[in-house]
Protein backbone atom coordinates (compact mmCIF):
# COMPACT_ATOMS: atom_id res chain seq x y z
CA UNK A 1 0.00 0.00 0.00
CA UNK A 2 2.95 2.23 -0.62
CA UNK A 3 2.23 2.51 -4.32
CA UNK A 4 -0.91 4.14 -5.61
CA UNK A 5 -2.39 3.90 -9.06
CA UNK A 6 -4.55 6.62 -10.58
CA UNK A 7 -7.38 5.35 -12.76
CA UNK A 8 -8.00 8.01 -15.36
CA UNK A 9 -11.75 8.01 -14.94
CA UNK A 10 -13.78 10.74 -16.51
CA UNK A 11 -16.70 10.59 -14.17
CA UNK A 12 -19.46 11.72 -16.47
CA UNK A 13 -18.35 9.31 -19.18
CA UNK A 14 -18.26 6.39 -16.78
CA UNK A 15 -21.65 7.23 -15.28
CA UNK A 16 -23.16 7.34 -18.74
CA UNK A 17 -21.48 4.07 -19.70
CA UNK A 18 -22.69 2.27 -16.64
CA UNK A 19 -26.15 3.74 -16.92
CA UNK A 20 -26.38 3.86 -13.14
CA UNK A 21 -28.60 6.28 -11.29
CA UNK A 22 -28.48 6.60 -7.56
CA UNK A 23 -31.63 5.19 -6.00
CA UNK A 24 -33.82 7.47 -3.92
CA UNK A 25 -33.87 4.96 -1.09
CA UNK A 26 -31.25 2.34 -0.43
CA UNK A 27 -30.98 -0.47 2.04
CA UNK A 28 -27.59 -0.83 3.66
CA UNK A 29 -25.84 -3.98 4.78
CA UNK A 30 -25.58 -5.03 8.40
CA UNK A 31 -22.00 -6.17 8.91
CA UNK A 32 -20.94 -7.69 12.21
CA UNK A 33 -18.13 -9.80 13.64
CA UNK A 34 -19.07 -12.97 15.50
CA UNK A 35 -17.37 -14.62 18.48
CA UNK A 36 -15.08 -16.58 16.13
CA UNK A 37 -13.88 -13.29 14.56
CA UNK A 38 -15.72 -14.17 11.35
CA UNK A 39 -17.31 -11.40 9.29
CA UNK A 40 -21.10 -11.73 9.02
CA UNK A 41 -22.95 -9.77 6.33
CA UNK A 42 -26.73 -9.71 6.57
CA UNK A 43 -26.63 -12.91 8.60
CA UNK A 44 -24.26 -14.81 6.30
CA UNK A 45 -20.75 -15.76 7.38
CA UNK A 46 -18.14 -14.53 4.91
CA UNK A 47 -14.46 -15.29 4.43
CA UNK A 48 -13.46 -11.96 2.85
CA UNK A 49 -11.28 -12.12 -0.22
CA UNK A 50 -10.52 -8.69 -1.63
CA UNK A 51 -8.35 -6.74 -4.02
CA UNK A 52 -6.46 -3.46 -3.66
CA UNK A 53 -7.31 -2.14 -6.12
CA UNK A 54 -9.78 -4.01 -8.26
CA UNK A 55 -10.33 -3.51 -11.99
CA UNK A 56 -12.06 -0.27 -13.02
CA UNK A 57 -15.82 -0.39 -12.36
CA UNK A 58 -16.56 -0.35 -16.09
CA UNK A 59 -13.44 -2.29 -17.07
CA UNK A 60 -13.48 -5.47 -19.11
CA UNK A 61 -11.62 -8.75 -19.03
CA UNK A 62 -9.76 -9.84 -22.17
CA UNK A 63 -12.89 -11.86 -23.00
CA UNK A 64 -15.17 -8.84 -22.75
CA UNK A 65 -16.82 -9.56 -19.37
CA UNK A 66 -17.08 -6.84 -16.77
CA UNK A 67 -14.01 -7.14 -14.53
CA UNK A 68 -15.86 -6.91 -11.23
CA UNK A 69 -18.30 -9.55 -12.43
CA UNK A 70 -15.35 -11.84 -13.19
CA UNK A 71 -13.94 -11.41 -9.67
CA UNK A 72 -17.31 -12.03 -8.04
CA UNK A 73 -18.02 -15.15 -10.07
CA UNK A 74 -14.60 -16.54 -9.13
CA UNK A 75 -15.25 -16.09 -5.40
CA UNK A 76 -14.02 -12.62 -4.48
CA UNK A 77 -16.12 -10.55 -2.08
CA UNK A 78 -14.35 -7.21 -1.50
CA UNK A 79 -12.69 -4.42 -3.46
CA UNK A 80 -10.77 -1.58 -1.87
CA UNK A 81 -12.15 1.72 -3.09
CA UNK A 82 -12.01 5.34 -1.97
CA UNK A 83 -9.25 7.82 -2.58
CA UNK A 84 -6.12 6.77 -4.51
CA UNK A 85 -3.19 8.96 -3.53
CA UNK A 86 -5.15 12.21 -3.12
CA UNK A 87 -7.41 13.69 -0.48
CA UNK A 88 -11.18 13.41 -0.47
CA UNK A 89 -13.03 15.99 -2.52
CA UNK A 90 -16.09 16.24 -4.75
CA UNK A 91 -14.49 14.18 -7.49
CA UNK A 92 -13.47 11.46 -5.03
CA UNK A 93 -16.97 11.28 -3.61
CA UNK A 94 -18.45 11.03 -7.11
CA UNK A 95 -15.93 8.30 -7.94
CA UNK A 96 -16.83 6.36 -4.82
CA UNK A 97 -20.47 6.48 -5.85
CA UNK A 98 -19.53 4.79 -9.11
CA UNK A 99 -17.57 2.08 -7.29
CA UNK A 100 -20.36 1.44 -4.79
CA UNK A 101 -22.99 1.19 -7.51
CA UNK A 102 -20.87 -1.19 -9.59
CA UNK A 103 -19.98 -3.35 -6.59
CA UNK A 104 -23.63 -3.69 -5.61
CA UNK A 105 -24.54 -4.62 -9.17
CA UNK A 106 -22.12 -7.55 -9.20
CA UNK A 107 -22.51 -8.75 -5.62
CA UNK A 108 -19.27 -7.33 -4.23
CA UNK A 109 -18.62 -5.10 -1.21
CA UNK A 110 -16.54 -1.94 -1.10
CA UNK A 111 -13.82 -1.19 1.42
CA UNK A 112 -13.44 2.62 1.07
CA UNK A 113 -10.08 4.05 2.17
CA UNK A 114 -10.75 7.07 4.38
CA UNK A 115 -7.13 8.24 4.09
CA UNK A 116 -6.81 11.71 5.66
CA UNK A 117 -10.36 11.48 7.05
CA UNK A 118 -9.20 8.61 9.28
CA UNK A 119 -7.21 11.11 11.36
CA UNK A 120 -9.41 13.68 13.14
CA UNK A 121 -8.20 16.09 15.80
CA UNK A 122 -10.45 18.18 18.03
CA UNK A 123 -9.63 21.42 16.22
CA UNK A 124 -10.14 20.21 12.63
CA UNK A 125 -13.84 20.92 12.12
CA UNK A 126 -13.56 20.96 8.33
CA UNK A 127 -12.06 17.46 8.15
CA UNK A 128 -14.58 16.10 10.62
CA UNK A 129 -17.43 17.58 8.60
CA UNK A 130 -16.14 15.92 5.42
CA UNK A 131 -15.78 12.58 7.20
CA UNK A 132 -19.35 12.86 8.42
CA UNK A 133 -20.53 13.65 4.92
CA UNK A 134 -18.76 10.65 3.38
CA UNK A 135 -20.09 8.26 6.01
CA UNK A 136 -23.63 9.62 5.78
CA UNK A 137 -23.61 9.37 1.99
CA UNK A 138 -22.52 5.74 1.77
CA UNK A 139 -23.54 4.07 5.04
CA UNK A 140 -26.83 2.80 3.57
CA UNK A 141 -25.45 1.85 0.18
CA UNK A 142 -25.82 -1.88 -0.63
CA UNK A 143 -22.28 -1.83 -1.99
CA UNK A 144 -20.63 -0.84 1.30
CA UNK A 145 -18.88 -3.59 3.27
CA UNK A 146 -16.44 -2.08 5.77
CA UNK A 147 -14.44 1.13 6.17
CA UNK A 148 -10.65 1.30 5.80
CA UNK A 149 -8.96 3.56 8.31
CA UNK A 150 -5.42 4.90 8.26
CA UNK A 151 -2.89 2.92 6.25
CA UNK A 152 0.17 1.56 8.09
CA UNK A 153 -0.23 4.08 10.93
CA UNK A 154 2.33 2.59 13.30
CA UNK A 155 5.07 2.72 10.66
CA UNK A 156 4.02 6.28 9.83
CA UNK A 157 4.07 7.19 13.54
CA UNK A 158 0.46 8.39 13.40
CA UNK A 159 -0.80 9.18 16.91
CA UNK A 160 -3.51 6.84 18.16
CA UNK A 161 -5.89 9.43 19.61
CA UNK A 162 -6.91 11.09 16.29
CA UNK A 163 -7.53 7.61 14.81
CA UNK A 164 -9.75 6.74 17.77
CA UNK A 165 -11.67 9.97 17.29
CA UNK A 166 -12.29 9.17 13.62
CA UNK A 167 -13.47 5.67 14.49
CA UNK A 168 -15.84 7.09 17.11
CA UNK A 169 -17.39 9.36 14.48
CA UNK A 170 -17.79 6.49 12.02
CA UNK A 171 -19.34 4.30 14.71
CA UNK A 172 -21.68 7.08 15.84
CA UNK A 173 -23.03 7.58 12.33
CA UNK A 174 -22.73 4.01 11.07
CA UNK A 175 -22.77 1.21 13.66
CA UNK A 176 -23.40 -1.36 10.91
CA UNK A 177 -19.98 -1.36 9.22
CA UNK A 178 -16.69 -2.19 10.99
CA UNK A 179 -13.46 -0.28 10.39
CA UNK A 180 -10.17 -1.97 9.53
CA UNK A 181 -6.58 -0.79 9.96
CA UNK A 182 -3.76 -2.54 8.12
CA UNK A 183 -0.22 -2.21 9.43
CA UNK A 184 3.12 -2.40 7.64
CA UNK A 185 5.43 -5.38 8.31
CA UNK A 186 7.18 -3.29 10.94
CA UNK A 187 7.05 -2.85 14.68
CA UNK A 188 6.36 -5.20 17.56
CA UNK A 189 3.29 -6.50 19.32
CA UNK A 190 3.83 -3.81 21.95
CA UNK A 191 4.02 -0.96 19.41
CA UNK A 192 1.13 -2.21 17.28
CA UNK A 193 -1.35 -3.17 19.98
CA UNK A 194 -2.31 0.42 20.98
CA UNK A 195 -3.92 0.82 17.54
CA UNK A 196 -6.54 -1.78 18.48
CA UNK A 197 -8.44 1.08 20.11
CA UNK A 198 -8.90 2.63 16.65
CA UNK A 199 -10.23 -0.36 14.70
CA UNK A 200 -12.53 -3.37 14.62
CA UNK A 201 -10.32 -5.41 12.25
CA UNK A 202 -6.53 -5.49 12.25
CA UNK A 203 -3.96 -6.98 9.90
CA UNK A 204 -0.75 -6.42 7.99
CA UNK A 205 0.51 -6.23 4.44
CA UNK A 206 3.56 -8.32 3.58
CA UNK A 207 5.14 -8.81 0.15
CA UNK A 208 7.95 -11.40 0.25
CA UNK A 209 8.53 -11.82 -3.50
CA UNK A 210 11.39 -9.63 -4.72
CA UNK A 211 15.01 -9.61 -5.83
CA UNK A 212 16.77 -10.07 -3.49
CA UNK A 213 14.14 -12.06 -1.58
CA UNK A 214 12.34 -10.64 1.41
CA UNK A 215 13.29 -6.97 1.10
CA UNK A 216 9.86 -5.91 2.43
CA UNK A 217 10.62 -7.44 5.81
CA UNK A 218 13.02 -6.66 8.63
CA UNK A 219 12.83 -10.23 9.89
CA UNK A 220 15.80 -12.55 9.53
CA UNK A 221 13.43 -14.92 7.70
CA UNK A 222 13.47 -13.82 4.05
CA UNK A 223 11.43 -16.78 2.78
CA UNK A 224 7.77 -16.60 1.80
CA UNK A 225 6.98 -18.24 5.14
CA UNK A 226 7.34 -14.76 6.65
CA UNK A 227 3.62 -14.47 5.82
CA UNK A 228 2.90 -16.92 8.61
CA UNK A 229 5.28 -15.11 10.95
CA UNK A 230 3.51 -11.79 10.44
CA UNK A 231 0.11 -13.43 10.71
CA UNK A 232 1.11 -14.84 14.09
CA UNK A 233 2.29 -11.40 15.17
CA UNK A 234 -0.99 -9.79 14.20
CA UNK A 235 -2.91 -12.54 15.98
CA UNK A 236 -0.99 -11.56 19.12
CA UNK A 237 -1.72 -7.91 18.43
CA UNK A 238 -5.45 -8.61 18.10
CA UNK A 239 -5.52 -10.62 21.35
CA UNK A 240 -8.30 -12.79 19.94
CA UNK A 241 -10.67 -9.82 20.06
CA UNK A 242 -10.37 -8.69 16.44
CA UNK A 243 -10.23 -10.48 13.09
CA UNK A 244 -6.88 -10.46 11.33
CA UNK A 245 -6.88 -9.75 7.59
CA UNK A 246 -3.62 -10.25 5.71
CA UNK A 247 -2.74 -8.34 2.56
CA UNK A 248 -0.72 -10.47 0.13
CA UNK A 249 1.21 -9.76 -3.00
CA UNK A 250 0.39 -9.46 -6.63
CA UNK A 251 2.92 -6.66 -7.18
CA UNK A 252 4.39 -3.92 -4.97
CA UNK A 253 6.80 -1.01 -4.99
CA UNK A 254 9.82 -3.17 -4.21
CA UNK A 255 9.34 -4.95 -7.53
CA UNK A 256 8.12 -2.14 -9.81
CA UNK A 257 10.10 0.98 -8.91
CA UNK A 258 12.89 2.12 -11.26
CA UNK A 259 16.00 0.09 -10.60
CA UNK A 260 14.04 -2.87 -9.25
CA UNK A 261 13.53 -6.21 -10.99
CA UNK A 262 9.91 -7.12 -11.58
CA UNK A 263 8.96 -10.35 -9.86
CA UNK A 264 5.57 -11.97 -9.26
CA UNK A 265 4.50 -14.85 -7.01
CA UNK A 266 4.01 -18.11 -8.85
CA UNK A 267 0.83 -20.12 -8.31
CA UNK A 268 2.50 -22.46 -5.76
CA UNK A 269 3.91 -19.44 -3.90
CA UNK A 270 0.62 -17.55 -3.85
CA UNK A 271 -1.22 -20.69 -2.82
CA UNK A 272 1.23 -21.35 0.00
CA UNK A 273 1.08 -17.76 1.31
CA UNK A 274 -2.72 -17.76 1.22
CA UNK A 275 -3.07 -21.05 3.09
CA UNK A 276 -0.30 -20.23 5.56
CA UNK A 277 -2.08 -17.02 6.53
CA UNK A 278 -5.36 -18.91 7.00
CA UNK A 279 -3.71 -21.72 8.97
CA UNK A 280 -2.16 -19.19 11.34
CA UNK A 281 -5.48 -17.46 11.99
CA UNK A 282 -6.26 -14.97 9.22
CA UNK A 283 -10.01 -14.40 8.80
CA UNK A 284 -9.67 -12.52 5.53
CA UNK A 285 -7.22 -12.08 2.61
CA UNK A 286 -6.63 -9.12 0.33
CA UNK A 287 -4.40 -9.21 -2.75
CA UNK A 288 -2.49 -6.01 -3.55
CA UNK A 289 -1.13 -4.63 -6.80
CA UNK A 290 -3.35 -5.87 -9.63
CA UNK A 291 -3.91 -2.27 -10.67
CA UNK A 292 -0.23 -1.25 -10.87
CA UNK A 293 0.34 -0.35 -14.50
CA UNK A 294 4.11 -0.82 -14.18
CA UNK A 295 3.47 -4.51 -13.51
CA UNK A 296 1.02 -5.13 -16.36
CA UNK A 297 1.74 -6.49 -19.81
CA UNK A 298 0.61 -4.04 -22.51
CA UNK A 299 -2.60 -5.89 -23.32
CA UNK A 300 -3.64 -5.69 -19.67
CA UNK A 301 -2.60 -2.07 -19.26
CA UNK A 302 -5.16 -1.18 -21.91
CA UNK A 303 -7.83 -2.87 -19.74
CA UNK A 304 -6.70 -1.36 -16.44
CA UNK A 305 -5.92 -4.55 -14.50
CA UNK A 306 -3.47 -7.45 -14.47
CA UNK A 307 -5.64 -10.15 -16.02
CA UNK A 308 -2.60 -12.21 -17.02
CA UNK A 309 -1.64 -12.69 -13.38
CA UNK A 310 -5.26 -13.31 -12.48
CA UNK A 311 -5.67 -16.09 -15.02
CA UNK A 312 -2.33 -17.78 -14.34
CA UNK A 313 -2.16 -17.46 -10.55
CA UNK A 314 -5.05 -15.93 -8.64
CA UNK A 315 -8.07 -17.46 -10.29
CA UNK A 316 -6.78 -21.00 -9.52
CA UNK A 317 -6.28 -19.90 -5.89
CA UNK A 318 -9.85 -18.56 -5.81
CA UNK A 319 -11.14 -21.89 -7.05
CA UNK A 320 -9.82 -23.43 -3.81
CA UNK A 321 -10.64 -20.78 -1.18
CA UNK A 322 -13.09 -18.35 -2.78
CA UNK A 323 -16.72 -17.75 -2.00
CA UNK A 324 -18.75 -20.87 -3.01
CA UNK A 325 -15.58 -23.00 -3.09
CA UNK A 326 -15.53 -26.48 -1.50
CA UNK A 327 -13.77 -24.91 1.51
CA UNK A 328 -16.22 -22.05 2.02
CA UNK A 329 -17.87 -23.49 5.15
CA UNK A 330 -14.55 -24.59 6.66
CA UNK A 331 -13.01 -21.15 6.25
CA UNK A 332 -15.70 -19.55 8.42
CA UNK A 333 -15.86 -22.35 10.99
CA UNK A 334 -14.18 -22.10 14.40
CA UNK A 335 -11.00 -24.04 15.05
CA UNK A 336 -11.81 -27.60 16.06
CA UNK A 337 -11.44 -28.64 19.68
CA UNK A 338 -10.68 -32.23 18.69
CA UNK A 339 -7.39 -33.57 20.10
CA UNK A 340 -5.68 -33.59 16.71
CA UNK A 341 -1.89 -33.70 16.85
CA UNK A 342 0.87 -33.65 14.26
CA UNK A 343 4.22 -35.35 14.84
CA UNK A 344 7.31 -35.86 12.72
CA UNK A 345 8.34 -32.26 11.98
CA UNK A 346 8.48 -28.84 13.64
CA UNK A 347 7.97 -26.85 10.46
CA UNK A 348 4.56 -28.16 9.35
CA UNK A 349 1.73 -25.83 10.37
CA UNK A 350 -1.93 -26.85 10.39
CA UNK A 351 -5.43 -26.05 11.55
CA UNK A 352 -8.53 -28.23 11.81
CA UNK A 353 -12.12 -27.21 11.17
CA UNK A 354 -15.33 -29.23 11.55
CA UNK A 355 -18.29 -28.78 9.20
CA UNK A 356 -21.21 -31.09 9.83
CA UNK A 357 -20.08 -34.67 9.43
CA UNK A 358 -16.71 -33.71 7.93
CA UNK A 359 -13.33 -32.72 9.32
CA UNK A 360 -11.00 -30.49 7.31
CA UNK A 361 -7.27 -30.27 8.06
CA UNK A 362 -5.35 -27.50 6.29
CA UNK A 363 -1.60 -28.01 6.50
CA UNK A 364 1.51 -26.45 4.97
CA UNK A 365 5.25 -26.84 5.33
CA UNK A 366 7.78 -24.07 5.57
CA UNK A 367 11.20 -24.15 3.87
CA UNK A 368 13.53 -27.05 4.59
CA UNK A 369 13.74 -30.76 3.87
CA UNK A 370 10.98 -33.04 2.67
CA UNK A 371 9.41 -34.82 5.65
CA UNK A 372 6.80 -37.41 6.50
CA UNK A 373 4.44 -36.47 9.33
CA UNK A 374 1.62 -38.17 11.21
CA UNK A 375 -1.75 -36.68 12.11
CA UNK A 376 -3.57 -38.37 14.99
CA UNK A 377 -6.62 -37.82 17.16
CA UNK A 378 -9.10 -38.03 14.26
CA UNK A 379 -12.75 -38.75 15.09
CA UNK A 380 -12.78 -41.80 12.80
CA UNK A 381 -10.72 -44.94 13.43
CA UNK A 382 -10.62 -46.52 9.99
CA UNK A 383 -11.23 -45.29 6.47
CA UNK A 384 -9.92 -42.93 3.82
CA UNK A 385 -9.39 -39.22 3.67
CA UNK A 386 -9.54 -37.13 0.52
CA UNK A 387 -6.55 -34.93 -0.31
CA UNK A 388 -8.49 -32.08 -1.84
CA UNK A 389 -7.27 -30.54 -5.11
CA UNK A 390 -4.89 -33.49 -5.61
CA UNK A 391 -7.36 -36.06 -6.97
CA UNK A 392 -7.24 -39.04 -7.01
CA UNK A 393 -4.80 -39.02 -4.07
CA UNK A 394 -6.10 -40.17 -0.69
CA UNK A 395 -4.71 -40.95 2.74
CA UNK A 396 -5.48 -44.12 4.67
CA UNK A 397 -6.80 -43.62 8.18
CA UNK A 398 -5.88 -46.31 10.74
CA UNK A 399 -6.57 -46.09 14.46
CA UNK A 400 -7.62 -42.47 14.08
CA UNK A 401 -4.39 -41.40 12.36
CA UNK A 402 -2.78 -41.01 8.94
CA UNK A 403 0.64 -40.13 7.55
CA UNK A 404 1.65 -38.00 4.59
CA UNK A 405 4.65 -36.34 2.95
CA UNK A 406 5.39 -32.61 2.73
CA UNK A 407 8.00 -30.94 0.57
CA UNK A 408 9.11 -27.35 1.19
CA UNK A 409 6.25 -24.86 0.74
CA UNK A 410 3.74 -27.61 -0.01
CA UNK A 411 0.10 -27.36 1.04
CA UNK A 412 -2.24 -30.30 1.60
CA UNK A 413 -5.94 -30.02 2.40
CA UNK A 414 -7.57 -33.12 3.89
CA UNK A 415 -11.28 -33.93 4.15
CA UNK A 416 -12.19 -36.84 6.43
CA UNK A 417 -15.62 -38.08 7.44
CA UNK A 418 -16.43 -38.19 11.15
CA UNK A 419 -18.05 -41.03 13.03
CA UNK A 420 -21.82 -40.77 13.14
Strands 284-288 and 341-343, bridge-based pairing: unpaired
Q: How confident is the model at residue 27 (pLDDT cuts 50, 70, 90)?
A: confident
Mean pLDDT of the chain: 93
- Would the pTM of this model clear 0.85, i.e. be above it? yes
Query: Helix, strand or coil for residue 92?
Result: helix
Rg of the chain (C-alpha set): 21
Sequence-distant (6+) residues with CB within 8 A of 222 are 208, 212, 213, 214
Helix (H) or strand (E) run with residue 386 in it: strand 382-388
Per-residue model confidence as pLDDT tens digits over 118-174: 999 988 899 999 999 999 999 999 999 999 999 999 999 999 999 999 999 999 999
Per-residue model confidence as pLDDT tens digits over 368-391: 999 999 999 999 889 999 999 999
Q: Is the pLDDT of residue 330 over 80?
A: yes
Count Cβ neighbours within 10 Å for each residue of 221-231 and write b for 16 or more, e otherwise: ebbbbbbbbbb
Chain-centroid distance of CA 91 in Å reads: 27
d(CA 303, CA 191): 41
Q: What domains can be seen in the chain, in order of their start residue?
A: 11-331 (3.20.20.80), 341-417 (2.60.40.1180)
- Of 342 and 3, more confident: 342
The DSSP secondary-structure symbol of 261 reads: P
Q: Is the pLDDT of residue 9 over 90?
A: no
d(CA 168, CA 31): 17
d(CA 187, CA 298): 38
Contact 67, 103 (CB under 8 A): no
d(CA 387, CA 389): 7
Amino acid sequence: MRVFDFYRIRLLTVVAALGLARADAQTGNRVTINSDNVLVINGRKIFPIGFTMGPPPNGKTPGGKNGLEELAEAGATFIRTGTKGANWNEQTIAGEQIWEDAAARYGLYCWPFLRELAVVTGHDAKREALLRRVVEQFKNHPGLGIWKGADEPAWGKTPVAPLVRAREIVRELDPNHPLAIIQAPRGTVATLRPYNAACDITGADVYPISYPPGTDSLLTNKEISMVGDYTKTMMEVGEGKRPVWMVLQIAWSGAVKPGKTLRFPTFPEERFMSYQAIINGARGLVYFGGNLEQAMPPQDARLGWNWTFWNHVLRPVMEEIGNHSPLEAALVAPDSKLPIKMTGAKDVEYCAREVGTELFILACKREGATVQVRFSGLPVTEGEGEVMYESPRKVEVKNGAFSDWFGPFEVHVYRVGKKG
